[in-house]
Amino acid sequence: MKRYRFGTALALLAALSACGGGGSSSGSPPVADVPTTPVTPPPTGGNGCSLRERQNFVAAQLNEFYLFPETLPADRTPTETSVQAYIDRLTATARAQGRDRGFTFITSIAEENAFFNSGSSAGFGVRLVYDAPARRLLVSEAFEGAPALAAGIDRGTEILAIGAPGGALRTVSDLFAAGGEGAVSDALGPTTAGTTRTLRVSSAGATRDVTVTKADFTLTPVSSRYGAQVIEDGGRRVGYLNLRTFISTADPALRQAFAGFRAQGVTDVVVDFRYNGGGLVRTAELMGDLLGANRSTSDVFSFTVFRPEKAAENETRFFRPQAESIAPTRLAFISTGATASASELVVNSFVPYLRTNMALVGANSFGKPVGQIAIDRAACDDRLRIVAFATQNAERRGDYFNGLATTVPVTCRAPDDLSRPLGNPAEGSTRAALDFLAGRTCAPISDTGARTASADRVAPERFQPLTPERPTTAQREVPGAF
């Protein structure tokens, strides 16, 4: 969950240290090189890009903006051999508490801007999910305009073996046995254009070997194949929207989709967030507006809350109905453990208004009711993402670190059916969402949390997104992307 706008104090920081979630960089020196409260500080560093200077910069900014400052260690002297390893130590306590599960990190300004501004990244153009006990790897989604789909690899395709061109193929089962999901991820090669792999794949009962080369491509946030459609179900017209990620280019696609729903008089809606790892808050706010034709401009969409010392930056976002907005009477959100951040913000924001007329369908969500600001050090191409704020709905509820299953009044447990296309009325989660909208009963999602509920792991979430140890921006925001 990324913010693009800042208040007075943060705007000052932007001017001084090139802060801004995707904004331009000034390359000016940071505000401070050492913490400003009584802790054991690291040695004062300069404004260059040595490891120590970059680590000192990190310590200063976490001390200034981190949402959980009480969890930072007193001794912040850097001893690690990388910036991210240093961040991991500083945030270890919050991680252990489940409040910062890798949400604070260092990344590339150029890489992140390319993704959030246009969806640009490099890869095969698929999402991959795995079943570790069964040692299986499958495609959960393939993106238009990318190499994999052009090679006939789509949702439901199983990858049986992986190899470099001219080399022997190694089975996925052997890779899992040797090194778990990390070995599988490594076998797929780096996320750079030109990386080529031969894949043995199985689809529709046929097995074949196909050679695919990773390429630069632009992710379409709303699929041209199934992303926005009106489903005829039992004489009712239901709007179906699948949003892959919250990036800038989603805005016109969302407006177009909702204009279509409005023109057809749609009031029952399925919003499919099952793989949506989040993204820009401003796009989440637009989506709320598009679902809020009957909301007043005095109705609260969300509260953004910084730590007490930064309370002047707190914001209240009210609904702003748009020309394309609709007023859903019943709303079903499809979710999995990969549904996080901005996706959860949208779901949580409608609970006070729709209550039992909305449902969470599929499996429990990830549980990320916090978001990051960005602080840039342009000379080093460093963007520090810091967990700095929490989000709450109109009832001030936002403590869903274990997922939304205990926050949404109605939940319906359903599988992610890889044997059918997304948005197909017969697909497991889509079918369950349609049944809820039709007033049928369902079995609830376990309320013990997506990360611990063994029952949810056995059926609805047998497959988990494949994620490398150090994911790219695209892989953070689009879980399972390769």
Q: Residue 172's domain is classified under what CATH number?
A: 2.30.42.10
For residue 1, the model assigns a pLDDT of 77
Does the pLDDT value for residue 456 go beyond 50? no
Same structural domain, 141 and 94: no
Same structural domain, 186 and 241: no
Same structural domain, 200 and 257: no
End position of a domain, from candidates 73, 88, 116? 116
Same structural domain, 404 and 293: yes
Report residue 134 CA to chain centroid gap. 26
For residue 462, the model assigns a pLDDT of 81
For residue 3, the model assigns a pLDDT of 64
For residue 413, the model assigns a pLDDT of 97
Same structural domain, 202 and 152: yes
Same structural domain, 110 and 139: no
Same structural domain, 54 and 197: no
| Any domain includes 475 | no
Q: What is the mean pLDDT of residues 201-226?
A: 97
Digit-coded pLDDT (tens) for 304-319 = 999 999 999 999 999 9
Does the pLDDT value for residue 37 go beyond 80? no
Which range (343-352, 392-401, 443-452) has the least confidence? 443-452
Same structural domain, 410 and 293: yes
- Band of residue 170 on the pLDDT scale cut at 50, 70, 90: very high
Which range (6-20, 37-51, 58-72, 238-252) has the least confidence? 6-20
| Any domain includes 43 | yes
Same structural domain, 276 and 420: yes
- What is this structure's pTM? 0.89
Same structural domain, 406 and 313: yes
Does the pLDDT value for residue 235 go beyond 60? yes
Does the pLDDT value for residue 24 go beyond 60? no
| Any domain includes 467 | no
Q: What is the mean pLDDT of residues 240-263?
A: 98
Alpha-carbon torsion 242, 404, 330, 325, what sign?
negative
End position of a domain, from candidates 153, 185, 218? 218
Same structural domain, 204 and 101: no
Distance CA 61, CA 83 (A): 13
Does the pLDDT value for residue 251 go beyond 90? yes
Distance (Å) of CA 410 to CA 105, 146, 201, 415, 439? 34, 37, 39, 17, 12
Distance CA 57, CA 384 (A): 9
Same structural domain, 328 and 399: yes
Does the pLDDT value for residue 447 go beyond 90? no
For residue 412, the model assigns a pLDDT of 98
CATH of the domain at 254: 3.90.226.10
| Any domain includes 443 | yes
| Enclosing domain of residue 41 | 8-116
For residue 34, the model assigns a pLDDT of 26
End position of a domain, from candidates 193, 218, 243? 218
For residue 124, the model assigns a pLDDT of 98
Query: What's the mean pLDDT when you consider all of the chain?
Result: 90
Distance CA 283, CA 280 (A): 6
Does the pLDDT value for residue 292 go beyond 70? yes
For residue 172, the model assigns a pLDDT of 98
| Any domain includes 465 | no
Number of separate domains in the chain: 3
| Any domain includes 375 | no
- Band of residue 46 on the pLDDT scale cut at 50, 70, 90: confident
Does the pLDDT value for residue 449 go beyond 50? no
Q: What is the mean pLDDT of residues 78-99?
A: 98
Does the pLDDT value for residue 457 go beyond 80? no
